[in-house]
Structure 1
Amino acid sequence: MQASFDHIRQAFATARQPAQDQAQAGPARHRDIAAQLDLSEGELIAAHCGEFAAGESPLQARRLREEWSLLIESLEPLGELMALTRNESCVHEKVGVYAHASTQHGVALVLGGAIDLRVFYAQWAHGFAVAERLADGAIQRSLQFFDPAGQAVHKIFLRPGTEVAAFESLVGVFLAEDQQAGIELGAAWSDAAEKLDAEVDVAAFREAWASLRDTHEFFGMLKRFGVSRTQALRLADAGFVQPLAAASAQELLSRAAQEAVPLMCFVGNPGMIQIHSGPVKRVAVMGPWLNVLDPGFNLHLREDHIASAWLVRKPTSDGLVCSLELFDARQQLIAQFFGERKPGQAERCDWRELLESLTDTTPLEAAC
């Protein structure tokens, strides 16, 4: 721990005060405050557990028991909530109900329509119920979950219509006995080391790619050949992958909004994948941020973090499924964009045509 808990709380309170200079953005974000204090965000929140002097900080955190799947499966009665999942370069916010949650072998699905999640509980280590008094006096309530290294995995925010009494009742059920400030950090998640290209049976790998029948088989294929995702794109048959300009993300979203082409946007981290399905309408660029600012769905993407962009084509039993995949300088996946579709449906022609228009070569198959 780089700073005492009382110092952390005092620094947080100062940083969260409204900016005196109206030209500046609002108060500093939790993530940025933690970085300034040389802490993980999980450590920042955990410093606010337990009892401390009134007025020392506007935030109060209560530690939750590590019963993650049961907790998520208990959220539906709360009604409308806001789900937030992010990685270093992208923030995905979606409003809806946590319905139809199920868990098998540590992996969960939440299929509530608007709230569409793939949850990997093995990466969840710390959870808190958080209440913060904002500058206008309102109390912002949330559930926040972190990985062993204290990095945020998923956050759930109450909406104006959420029943606070129901939220407090749920928190009471899952409250941990230990409410002391602080957490013990573990190792950060890391990708398995990839093989050298020369060690990969490229011919067999390309044959396996061409034999895919479901997009969900892709990750298993990567594990079977011991390759990373970006390595797979380098080694794949040129008919299935194509590098694109980093600016392709902005063009794709802008044209999808203009042409009313519904899409699927996947953003995740090792513990969570969050999905938006449907149209995008308001696309706005603000400094380095490429944003979607729609009712019920917000996306905030750091364009300056995009080190590579790829058009990726995967064979399935329903025909080719094509996506735009974005990676940062560390070859970590930032976001994926697909055309909106359900299993058993062929890919939309308007999506295929939009995506292929970002290239200047002939696609593997005709667009429609």
Structure 2
Amino acid sequence: MTTTMLDLKKQYAAFKTENPKVRIRDAAQQLGVSEAELVATGVGETAVQLAGDFRELLKDMPTLGYVMALTRNDSVVHERKGEYKDVSFNGHVGLVLGEDIDLRLFLANWKFGFAVHENDRRSLQFFAPDGEAVHKIYLTDKSNETAYHALVGKYRAEQQDGVLDIEPKLEADAPTPDADIDVAAFQQAWLDLKDTHEFFGMLRKHKVARLQAMRLAPEGYALPITMEAVKKVFAEVSKIGLPIMIFVGNRGCIQIHTGEVRKLVPMGPWFNVLDPQFNLHLREDHVASAWVVKKPTTDGVVTSLELFDASGNQIALIFGKRKPGIPEKTEWREVVASTLPATV
């Protein structure tokens, strides 16, 4: 272990002693390093560096059985229990299409991996080139621990020195000025959508940022609401047992919960869903804007809630449960409509 790594290890140990409840992501920020570097200080004790093709490792994930998948960004944590099933890749883009664990994977943004054993929990943790976490997988008391050890042995890196080639964090491109966008063409493209999956490509084609699109949308297709209104939607779908879809992502992974949300627990700045198979932890104070968004499809209009932070980054995306070929449920539209201001 290098002198720099030893110094960081000492700093982190002292920090944990003084701040035992601070999460590792926040500790990294306060210490001015990446989360991956803090995990790497445990190599040889609490962490094993992983190597090889993460695509192959992920294809082996079904052997672990029932686990907890965790994906987050700066504002929300999405935790879903279940099994990794139907894992496939097309180049560096992957899919996990189990009924419980449903993921979109972007392996071009994965660089570091570790097996971690800390606080009596075993996990696999993956990080972007700048050391920011993109996805974590935790064993549960129902997981196959023998398969976990076999997987760690199979993908264990030869070098276990904790040294990481961390790359600088990429700065997001500035949005195209509104004046440089053909708004009429953009709005027509929105109205001509046939599938919700076309939305991202439409934004790229017209060089429109996601939050900017909310402002420039055709009239009536993106309506601003408050965080209180978003919480009312959660309360109502919880009350009537209406299943929804909650997408949370970062540049390496999008994780999707499909199902009911039952136990809603506000706690300080956090709005939480605390159900047996699904937990969500959302920082309410990070939600700078929220929108009801309508997208035309061949199955009729599809309605979603989109949440953004102050920098214009998407925090979360929420739909009523539906599948292609099936129209959106009337109950979902009614719940969302009930939160809109009377003047809309």
The answer to whether residue 61 in structure 2 is matched with residue 98 in structure 1 is no
- Which of 294, 310, 317 is residue 336 of structure 1 equivalent to? 317
Map residues 42-57 of structure 1 onto 2, 5 A cutoff. 42-50=36-44
Q: Look up the match of 1:40.
A: 34
Deviation at 1:29, TM superposition (A): 1.5
- Distance change (3 Å), C-alpha of 1:88 and 1:177: same
Unaligned runs of 5+ in 2: none
The 1-side partners of 2:18 and 2:32 are apart by 22
SS in 1 for 2:46: strand
Work out which of the residue numbers 295, 304, 307 in structure 1 matches 2:285.
Answer: 304
SS of the equivalent of 2:103 reads strand
Task: Give the match for residue 325 of structure 1.
Answer: 306
In the alignment, is the contact (CA less than 8 A) between 1:80 and 1:95 conserved in 2? yes
Which residue, 177, 200, 224 being the options, matches 1:196?
A: 177
Letter in 1 for 2:37: E
Q: Deviations over 1:31-64 (max 9, x none)?
A: 12222322110110112224xxxxxxxx521111
Find the aligned partners of 2:64 and 2:43 in 1 and give their Cα distance: 24
Structure 1 stretches lacking a partner, 5+ long: 20-25, 51-58, 364-368
Q: Match for residue 56 of structure 1?
A: none
Mean Cα deviation higher: 180-189 or 73-82: 180-189
For the residues of structure 1 that align with 2:144 and 2:42, how far apart are their CA atoms? 24
Task: Give CA deviations for 1:175-195 in whole Å, capped at 9, x if unaligned.
Answer: 111211231211324443321
For residues 233-272 of structure 1, the aligned pairs below 5 Å read: 233-272=214-253
2:167 pairs with one of 177, 181, 186: 186
Look up the match of 1:22: none
Structure with more of its chain in helix, by fraction: 2
Aligned equivalents of 1:190 and 1:98: distance in 2? 32
Q: What whole-Å deviation, never above 9, does each CA across 1:103-156 have from its counterpart, x for those lacking one?
A: 003111101110000001111011111111x2xxxx211000011111110000
Deviations 1:209-250 (A, max 9, x none): 000011100000001001100111111112211111122221
Q: Which residue matches 2:55? A: 69
How does 1:1-368 map onto structure 2 within 5 Å? 4-16=4-16, 27-50=21-44, 60-132=46-118, 134=119, 139-360=120-341
Q: Point out the more displaced range, 156-165 or 7-16.
A: 7-16
CA gap of 1:192–1:66, structure 2 versus 1, over 3 A, is farther
| Conserved? CA contact 1:66–1:125, under 8 Å | no
Separation (CA, whole Å) in 1 of partners of 2:52 and 2:245? 31
How has the CA–CA distance of structure 1 residues 265 and 211 changed in structure 2, closer, same or farther, with 3 Å as cutoff? same
Report how far residue 8 of structure 1 moved. Answer: 3.1
> Aligned with 1:160: secondary structure?
strand
Moved more, 241-250 or 328-337: 241-250
SS of alignment partner, residue 153 of structure 2 = helix
Structure 1 residue 258 displacement after superposition: 1.2
**1:275, distance to aligned residue in structure 2 (A):** 0.4
Q: Would the aligned equivalents of 1:16 and 1:29 in 2 still touch at CA under 8 Å?
A: no
Structure 1 residues 362 and 321: alpha-carbon distance in aligned structure 2, compared to 1, 3 A threshold: farther
Instruction: Measure, in 1, the Cα distance between the counterparts of 2:231 and 2:72.
Output: 19
Question: Structure 2: which amino acid aligns with 1:116?
Answer: D
How far residue 307 of structure 1 moved from its aligned partner, in angstroms, is 0.3
Q: Secondary structure, in 3 states, of the residue corresponding to 1:193?
A: coil
